[in-house]
Amino acid sequence: MKKFIAITVFILASLSGFTQILKPVKWSFSSETINEKEAFILLTANIDQGWHVYSQFIEEGGPIPTAFIFNKSADYKLLGKTSETPKATSAFDNNFGMQISWHERKVVFKQKISLNKPEVKVNGTLEFMVCNDKQCLPPEELEFSLVVKAGKSAIIATTPVATTVPIENISDSTTLIDTSNKIVSTTIKPTKIEINDATNQTSNPSLWAIFLAGFIGGLLALIMPCIFPMLPLTVSYFTKKAGSRRKAISHAGIYGLSIIVIYVALGMIITLIFGSDALNELASNGIFNFLFFVLLVVFAISFFGAFEINLPSSWINKIDAQSDKGGLVGLFFMAFALALVSFSCTGPIIGTLLVQAAAMGELMGPAIGMLGFSLALAIPFTLFASFPSLLKSLPKSGGWLNSVKVTLGFIELALAFKFLSNVDLAYHWEFLDREIFLVLWIVIFAMMGFYLLGKLKFSHDSDLPFITIPRLFLAIITLAFTIYMIPGLWGAPLKAISAWLPPQTTQDFDLYTNTLSSPEVKQDTVKKKYGGLFKAPHNLNAFFDYEQGLAYAKQQNKPVLIDFTGHSCVNCRKMEAAVWSEPEVLERLKKDYVLISLYVDDKTDLPENEKYISKFSGKKIKTIGNKWSDFQASTFQTNSQPYYVIVNSEGNVLVEPQAFNLDIKNYVNFLDSGLAAYQNKK
């Protein structure tokens, strides 16, 4: 009967949403022999449905990436960098303003080592962060230790991992232990880890974005001065030399296919030279981002007509000579000659595309981008060879081709500042703030609009006696976009382009955030502990130390809202932007509550006299984040963020805590019920 009651209570607790300490990631550690001198260390994360851990390759300012530190030893040497299988899912995150990569279900991190003796012991530490769609858990550090023998695979695991790992996910020999570090099971399985997971075989949205960007780039290249005039000449050549329409179509098809092969090969060469690890590093490396900025500025200057980027003429002459041979080889070299001759126009577009593909960290990004680019170039040649009469509908060559080139120069220049912004944020230079970035974009696009109206003229431009209708509409769109950005100088969110802008917190003059503040509530002048490290959103008068906040609440005779949050918590930022900014919520936070925001992932070291060993987890508490994470887990039996708790000045919980929920009415009711409970218990 007692057992039945216990099970019933457990089920009811689960259904009622009681808090719990979540452990959605189970780690196991093993080795895989390569030969008598080399082996792989396999660090496998099995992740519960709906959760994800982040990739190793995330730039500073985003969520906490997975990281591994192997203790130095003369017994072994690390070979290369730690790889990830399968490839991480990647997408642009508007909250962080950067590309984010993560893993779901299962991921194997593999590190190759060389052994200096028959048996070595490998020790290290891993750090990871796990999130789902509604919450994030604090970053966690785990120690691991395993013995690797030459010619064999043996494991001694001493890291806390969950006791349940699916049998199909266990490698040759894996020892699992629970959070008390006691061995609970050892499983020996002769088969190796299978990496393929049907749930992870979906297409990556970012690859489609790269392909689309490449295709658009190809269409733009098609109407550049170096290519557009060649379109009717090349098609006429096929038609006359082939002698028949059918043969002309086949020749044009082979010509177009050759264009695709040439450009895709270029993308593949870039991939082979750099490799997947290097491409991922390019996405987050400050030096490369700065070089990309310089490169795009050079491309823009070239498009403005200051100089042309040309390949050596000897290359072009040799390739052109090969094109006279005829047959399939001749058609291929004709396509090659087109690529070389048109490089002064296509080079900056190709360069920009490859930079963008590399910055997204995708292994096949350059090849996919070049596929889209070459497809857009190849289709018109085949199409017009099939239907020569369509050539009559093409506009005549003229000054408008150079206008296309200059217009792309303005766009290249604007894109360049996005890469400079990435560097500025990563290294905390703090000179390219949001309003400075917007000023540059406003000036660039305003000048582009004036250029389209004929008010600006470059050295290679023809006289513009009148404005064509397409040019007029492009000018209207450009100038309208320019005016749209102007309110951003005073803090307007500009949600349509927020992903391209530096974060709102970098705005120095922010009337938008200031208007969210109630003029009736004066900011308190109490000196806050950790006040120099943290800043509350919407000018809220928050405390960042629990004890100090409780003391202030007792003095003010107000209830306390504890906000368990984190720098890398996406959903925390969503709650602050979508819920806390609402007037009815913000008014209650300012007038009725003392807000205490506790950052569970902050890396600031505690003073030596404040460091301690947690009675709850047994871990050493060394940082501010460790302190508040341990406090949340030991006091409220949960470790997810965001998490909101209403207490009185004695620290007693007044109403049921809340987690991530974008329902504004629900949050208002939560605050009102907490205030009512506080007043009733006074």
pLDDT confidence band for 530 (50 / 70 / 90): confident
Span of 18-22, 400-404, 550-554, 558-562 with lowest mean pLDDT: 18-22
Percent of the chain clearing pLDDT 70 (strictly above): 68
pLDDT exceeds 80 at position 320: no
Residue 451 is assigned to a structural domain of this protein: no
pTM of the model: 0.45
Eight-class DSSP state of 137: P
Span of 17-21, 269-273, 393-397 with lowest mean pLDDT: 17-21
**CA–CA gap between residue 403 and residue 112 (Å, rounded):** 53
Question: Would you tell me how many other CB atoms lie within 10 Å of the CB of residue 278?
Answer: 15
Question: Would you tell me how many other CB atoms lie within 10 Å of the CB of residue 170?
Answer: 21
In angstroms, the first-to-last Cα distance of the chain is: 41
Q: How many domains does the chain have?
A: 3
Last residue of a domain, one of 380, 398, 416: 398
pLDDT confidence band for 138 (50 / 70 / 90): confident
pLDDT exceeds 70 at position 660: yes
pLDDT confidence band for 169 (50 / 70 / 90): very low
Nearest alpha carbon to residue 267 among 408, 379, 377, 372: 372
Place of tokens 């680019």: 373
Q: Are 102 and 52 in contact (CB under 8 A)?
A: yes
Last residue of a domain, one of 370, 398, 426: 398
Say yes or no: 148 and 213 in one domain: no
pLDDT for 343-368, tens place per residue?
656 666 776 676 666 555 555 777 78
Angle between helices 343-359 and 327-341 (to 10 degrees): 80
We report the CATH number of the domain holding residue 85 as 2.60.40.1250
Residue 456 is assigned to a structural domain of this protein: no
Say yes or no: 159 and 224 in one domain: no
Last residue of a domain, one of 398, 422, 441: 398
Say yes or no: 183 and 229 in one domain: no
Say yes or no: 315 and 370 in one domain: yes
Q: Are 350 and 295 in contact (CB under 8 A)?
A: no
Say yes or no: 47 and 164 in one domain: yes
Residue 420 is assigned to a structural domain of this protein: no
Instruction: Give CA torsion, residues 665, 668, 669, 674, to 10 deg.
Output: 160
Say yes or no: 210 and 187 in one domain: no
Chain mean pLDDT for the chain: 75
pLDDT for 514-527, tens place per residue?
555 444 444 456 78
Q: Are 138 and 629 in contact (CB under 8 A)?
A: yes
Say yes or no: 187 and 215 in one domain: no
Residue 535 is assigned to a structural domain of this protein: yes
- Write out the residue range of the structural domain in which residue 588 sits: 516-680
Say yes or no: 169 and 218 in one domain: no
Q: Please name the residues in contact with 465: beta carbons below 8 A apart, sequence gap of 6 or more.
A: none
**CA–CA gap between residue 682 and residue 472 (Å, rounded):** 69
The runs of H, that is alpha helices, within 285-433 are 286-303, 313-322, 327-341, 343-359, 365-386, 399-426
pLDDT value at position 179? Answer: 33
pLDDT confidence band for 34 (50 / 70 / 90): confident
Residue 464 is assigned to a structural domain of this protein: no
Residue 377 is assigned to a structural domain of this protein: yes
Q: Which two tokens stand for residue 49?
A: 């449905």
Peptide bond into 139 cis (omega under 30): no
Say yes or no: 180 and 228 in one domain: no
pLDDT value at position 481? Answer: 95
Residue 159 is assigned to a structural domain of this protein: yes
**CA–CA gap between residue 661 and residue 132 (Å, rounded):** 13
pLDDT for 252-277, tens place per residue?
788 788 888 887 887 777 666 655 44
- The better pLDDT of the pair 495, 427 is held by 495
- The better pLDDT of the pair 212, 200 is held by 212
pLDDT for 601-643, tens place per residue?
777 889 998 899 988 878 889 888 889 988 998 888 887 888 9
Say yes or no: 101 and 219 in one domain: no
Residue 404 is assigned to a structural domain of this protein: no
Say yes or no: 222 and 287 in one domain: yes
We report the CATH number of the domain holding residue 547 as 3.40.30.10
Span of 7-16, 39-48, 315-324 with lowest mean pLDDT: 7-16
pLDDT for 282-302, tens place per residue?
554 567 678 778 888 888 888
Say yes or no: 177 and 272 in one domain: no
Sheet strands (E) in 484-618:
542-543, 560-565, 594-599, 612-613
**CA–CA gap between residue 659 and residue 646 (Å, rounded):** 12
**CA–CA gap between residue 545 and residue 650 (Å, rounded):** 15
